[in-house]
Structure 1
Amino acid sequence: MSRRDQVLYMAGAWCLSYPDQDLLGKVPLMRAALAEFAGAVEHFREVLDALESMPLMESQAHYVREFDLGRRHALHLSYWTDGDTRRRGEVLGLFKEAYRHSGVLVDLDGELPDYLPMVLEFAARVDPAAGRTLLQRYRASLEMLRLGLLRDNLPHAAILAAICATLPGKSPQDEQEVMRMAGYGPPTERVGLDPYDPRLLPVRGS
């Protein structure tokens, strides 16, 4: 993995996390690191500007509203492929297995293992090959999230676009194209159905 991709993944992990004082302190570091690569900072500029200019409590309220209270911008990758079905537990186990095989203790900090900021940090700092494989396997989830953020005019869409651009293949233009690419329908809340199995998603370039 290139240094540029590692920086994009780490900055993406931070920018997609719940904002706190520690995150605000990392903004100058992110700007400096991204500035080393042509055009990289442009994908993050609007989010970084908002973190620096918006009162922290307002940033936190905005994050909760957009990422926690609803599922239009779900940051858990397996939600997009398995919804709230029994199969999802098995899929989450695949993420835990990838973390275990890295030989590094990954602190889930109360989060599910498919939480996108965690997967991005894993790819950036722990096991780049395994992390990229997870991102590519769940490329459809990344694209669905990107399109949802774009539809709602949220600046995080540019960050998702930058992340997707590090993976093989062009990004789909709409949700229907994503579903044709991956072979699954919208997430379902009905427990016990047999939705698309994300383990069968081919990893492009492999």
Structure 2
Amino acid sequence: MQNIYKILSLLLDYPNEDVKENLSGIKAVVEEESVLDKTQCDLLSQFLGPIQSITLSDWQMLYVQQFDFSSSTNLYLFDHVYGDSRERGQAMVDLTEMYNKAGFMPCSDELPDYLPLFLEYLSLLQNEEESLKLLKEVSHILENMHKALQKKETPYSYLLELLCSLCNEDKYDIKQKKGIEV
């Protein structure tokens, strides 16, 4: 599951040449890992199809249109909960402390509540159940973002739907996919 978080982190971050060049390999990695069910793989394909058919600059323009100009679809988790209130600042401090305790030192200048950064953190956790628990804590935000992106009829809505579907999985589902008896 950790690779899925990393892949979603890369796909939800600002598009770059490296990611664009490796889009065709993403589906193979996902299929090899066998963590997603057919519906989830289809959601990923529904995102990848349109993105693979456009240029990098068009993808970057789409990204900016979807995430930089709308408060309902921006990728900053705590903005959806706290707006510009003081509580957002404390939530950021708490999230940064959680990252630091786990030894996660972000390589970017993004705020700690930036969804791709949060997903990268989840991808580095050794305990899949802990990753899933943290993802579920932001599930209501992801659901709202998904609805807003769906209204815009953007391929990004498929990635958020995929993330939401991961939130709905339980420990039993994860263990079954791994072939572990419960």
Regarding TM over 0.5, the answer is: yes
CA 1:150–1:137 in structure 2 vs 1: closer, same or farther (change >3 Å)? Answer: same
Deviations 1:161-184 (A, max 9, x none): 2212222479xxxxxxxxxxxxxx
Residue correspondence of structure 1 range 165-184 to structure 2 within 5 A: 165-168=165-168
Deviation at 1:96, TM superposition (A): 0.5
Contact kept, 8 Å, 1:10 with 1:121, in 2: the verdict is yes
Deviations 1:44-74 (A, max 9, x none): 1132123321011111111111111222311
Match of 2:113 in 1: 114
Structure 1 window deviating more from structure 2 (130-139 vs 91-100): it is 130-139
> What TM-score, normalized by structure 1, do the two folds share?
0.72
Contact kept, 8 Å, 2:47 with 2:158, in 1: the verdict is no
Match of 1:174 in 2: none
Residue correspondence of structure 1 range 132-171 to structure 2 within 5 A: 132-168=132-168
Contact kept, 8 Å, 2:82 with 2:88, in 1: the verdict is yes
- 1:85 equivalent to 2:85? Answer yes
- 1:9 equivalent to 2:8? Answer no
Report SS of the residue matched to 2:166: coil
Contact kept, 8 Å, 1:10 with 1:120, in 2: the verdict is yes
Unaligned runs of 5+ in 2: 171-182
Match of 1:187 in 2: none
* CA distance in 2 between partners of 1:112 and 1:132 (Å): 21
Deviation at 1:9, TM superposition (A): 1.6
Deviation at 1:7, TM superposition (A): 3.2
Deviation at 1:149, TM superposition (A): 1.0
Residue correspondence of structure 1 range 36-115 to structure 2 within 5 A: 36=32, 37=34, 38-39=37-38, 40-107=40-107, 109-115=108-114
Match of 1:19 in 2: 15
Larger proportion of helix: 2
Deviation at 1:130, TM superposition (A): 4.7
* CA distance in 1 between partners of 2:56 and 2:142 (Å): 27
Count residues with an aligned counterpart.
165
Structure 1 window deviating more from structure 2 (74-83 vs 129-138): it is 129-138
Letter in 2 for 1:76: Y
* CA distance in 2 between partners of 1:166 and 1:70 (Å): 25
- Aligned Cα root-mean-square deviation (Å): 2.1
* CA distance in 2 between partners of 1:168 and 1:54 (Å): 32
CA 1:106–1:93 in structure 2 vs 1: closer, same or farther (change >3 Å)? Answer: same
* CA distance in 1 between partners of 2:20 and 2:99 (Å): 28
* CA distance in 2 between partners of 1:70 and 1:165 (Å): 24
Contact kept, 8 Å, 1:95 with 1:114, in 2: the verdict is yes
CA 1:52–1:43 in structure 2 vs 1: closer, same or farther (change >3 Å)? Answer: same
> What TM-score, normalized by structure 2, do the two folds share?
0.81
Report SS of the residue matched to 1:44: helix
Match of 2:180 in 1: none
